[in-house]
Structure 1
Amino acid sequence: MAAMIRTRFAPSPNGQLHLGHAYAAVVAHDLARARGGEFLLRIEDIDGTRSRAELIPEILADLDWLGLRWDGPVVHQSSRLPSYQAAAERLKAQDLLYPCRCTRAEVLAASPGTGPDGPIYPGTCRGRAVDPAGAAWRLDMAKAVSLTGPLEWTDALAGVQRAQPEAFGDVVLLRKEAPASYHLAATLDDAADGVTLVTRGADLFASTHVHRLLQALLGLSVPVWHHHGLLVESDGRKLAKRRGSPALADLRRSGADGPALAQALRTALFPAGISLVSGVGIAP
């Protein structure tokens, strides 16, 4: 008998949800329901001062308005800080993490090139005696890759991929301003929640190379991924909170029909000026 599918929607309460979030939630919800599986809700609320607790009830109300029901209790990342620290200590014990006090400007000025996350870290603090107090902690990528050997992962749309985390350089896993980076927290949380199908936008496709490496280093379960297309504005930029993309809360309060909107998203009937695009080699 095939294992039950389990998906999740994991928004951050640093702004109101918009249509792009609604589309992501619908995809995760429908993939689970189509196979008699479970759809989980996780609130990623560890982003320093950007996380706003008052927005969490709004997120729940938006999903309810869309007609999306999640299974089990809502999980908050802020309740899992000990697990992030424990994982970091395991990596430190393998001599895979080192403290870094470089500023963004310093990294940019010395970077040898650009990777999926931006400027590649030049390794300035690797091998140096650095005061760890208040420092970020980076993964020694070359050493980590040498321990795991070749790795693969599977995207439900793009097929089997060879993991190439080296393209990121020495990524930050413990941030100065937050208990853990997205790479570490999301990987640990998906394993803890038993997620079997990780659904997210095609803009995060490359991040999976790092997440697959972390799974190997920490002995975590390996799901299948499903990187769906993105909703974009007429200028080709994806919808974003910081640019004032229409908020679901505003539509909800105006009396709009939530389930009808969810169905429109399923059938690619988007508002004027918004369209769906895929990542390279990925169908929406």
Structure 2
Amino acid sequence: MTFPHSGRRAAARSRAAVRGTRSRVRPANQAIRAAIASVPPMRDLLPRRSGLVLLGLGFVGAMVVSSSVPALAVSVSDTTASVYAPAQYTGDSVELEPQHIEVASDVVMPAAVAGASSYAVEAAPPPLLSQVASVGSISLIESDRIVWPVLTPERQSDGFGPRSAPCAGCSTVHDGVDFNPGNGTPVMAIADGVVVLATASGGGLGVNIEVQHNIAGTLVTSSYAHMQGGSMTVGVGDHVTAGQQIGRVGTTGQSTGPHLHLEMFGSDGVRFDGFAWLAMRVTG
């Protein structure tokens, strides 16, 4: 049936439609009121809700701890004894037991560990004291090395002892050994020692240096003569070492040509054959 869109009949239709709508809404409202009435009061829900909230927070905390803390830290109560053992717990403190090492019976210990009594300490020999007018008191340490005074000691022009005088005024008894390595070649100290004489006007010896040595606890003096003028590299009181250059071969003083005149003597001043002495003791 089609209702008219205007006039009294249309108005009556509209009122009837509204009444039908109200009749349909009323049952729905009643259902909502019934549902609301069935919900327990809030005071009855609070304990349950609080319990659920606490349970949820506990679960979340457990997840955070398990995902952020290393497994070793979580289970430390199970592994502490094995990591730090041996230990004794006394109240609030922990006392660690001393550690021990077991060595098999067939292990051979090194000599250095077996005992220090197997080593012997030998004291160095005392220095030799000497008195020289130009220097005073000298303390001479024993020299552990003896060398030739020139690089080619086999080249000699005259030996120690009696001889025919090679020049007017020259001695018929030669107090030293004449080495001929060549003019200007280095002259070296035969051993460690102290310079007790260094002069450019040594009379017949010309440019002359004397060095005192401690050779196996014995005082020995070596004298180097006829060296070049201005070639001395040391002075009185200087300490020298074996093989140290002290001058150069020359022909100053009473000399027949460039050579090194080497004299050697002990505390008594008596000269001896320096070549034979050196040949028995040169160590380098």
Q: Would you say same fold, with TM above 0.5?
A: no
Q: TM-score, normalised by structure 2?
A: 0.20
The higher-RCO structure (CA 8 Å, 6+ apart) is 1
The structure whose residues are more often helix, as a share, is 1
**Is the strand fraction higher in 1 or 2?**
2
